[in-house]
A and B are shown apart, each in its own frame.
Chain A
Amino acid sequence: MSGEGERSQILAGRFEARPDQLRRIRHALARALEEAGVDAEGAADTVLAVDEACQNVIRHGYRNGSGAIVLCVERGGGELVIEIRDFAAPVDPARIRPRPLDELRPGGLGTHFIRSVMDRVEYRPASAGRGNVLRMVRRIGPA
C-alpha cells in the first residue's frame, strides 16, 4: 500500500457510457495527465487503458444501453491510481481475461491492452449500491 495517504486527485468526472463520449474522456484525461507532469509514455498507456476499460463497460456492462461511468485518477507515491466505476450488473472477474494472441482474429484485444500497459488491475463490486469498480495502477516517475 505504498503511497496511500499522499495521493492527490488529478481528475474526477462522470460521463455517459456511450461511444461518442470516449473522445471527451480521452481528451480530459490526457490534459489532466499532462498538467500533472506525467511522462508521454505513461500518459499514452493510461489513456489507452481507460478508453478500453470504458469500452468494456459500454459493451459488456451496460450492453450498449444507457448508464454512467465515474472516472477518478489520483497521483502519488510514484503511481497513478485509476478507478472506473459503473452501475451495471455485477461482473464476474474470472470472465474478464485477455484472449490468447496466437490466434489472429479481430476483437477481444482491449483487455489484453489494459493488462499490458498497467502494473496492477483489479475488479471488485462497488462498496455501496449496484455496480463494479475497476482499479488500475500504473507506476510513473516521481512528481
Chain B
Amino acid sequence: MRCEVRQREGVRVVELSGEVDLESSPAARQVLLDAVAAGGPLLVDLSGVDYIDSSGIASLVEAFQAARSRGTRFGLVAVSPAAMRVLRLARLDRVFEIHEDLEEGLGGGG
C-alpha cells in the first residue's frame, strides 16, 4: 500500500493505492486522521486501490466521522471499481461524498 498527501487548490488530497488490508490499514488510518486534524477540506483519491477490506473501510469511516465532528469536508474521488464494490457491500456508497474524479471533487462540495 502507498499513502501520499499533497495539496491541490487549497484542498488536501490523500492518495491511497495498492492493497489496503489488516496489515497496512493502521498506517492509512493514521495518515487520514492526521490529515483531518490538520484542518481544511480533504479528498481521498482511491483510483489506485486494488483491494480494500473491512479494516480499510473502517479507517475511511473513522476519518469521515472525525471530519464531520470538526465540520470539515471529507470526500472520496476516483474510486476504483475494486474499492467501490466493497463500499457498496458496506452500503456506504450513499453515505460518503463521492466524485467521479479529482477535478470534479475540487470543483464540487464546499
Contact = CB atoms under 8 A, between A and B. Distances in A.
Q: Do A and B come from one complex?
A: yes
Nearest to A47: B51
Interface residues of B, number: 21
Nearest to A54: B22
A112 interface: yes
Interface stretch (B7-15, B38-46, B81-89, B102-110): B81-89
Contacts of A113: 53-54, 86, 89-90
Nearest to A106: B58
A19 B62 contact: no
Main secondary structure on B side of the interface with A: helix
B23 A23 contact: yes
A108 B58 CA distance: 9
Interface of B: 19, 21-23, 51, 53-55, 57-59, 61-62, 65, 82, 85-86, 89-91, 95
Given A44-B82, A58-B22, 16 more contacts: A19-B22, A22-B23, A23-B21, A23-B23, A26-B19, A51-B21, A51-B53, A55-B55, A101-B90, A101-B91, A104-B65, A106-B62, A109-B57, A110-B54, A113-B54, A113-B86
Interface of A: 19-20, 22-23, 26, 44, 47-48, 51-52, 55, 58, 101, 104-110, 112-113, 116-117
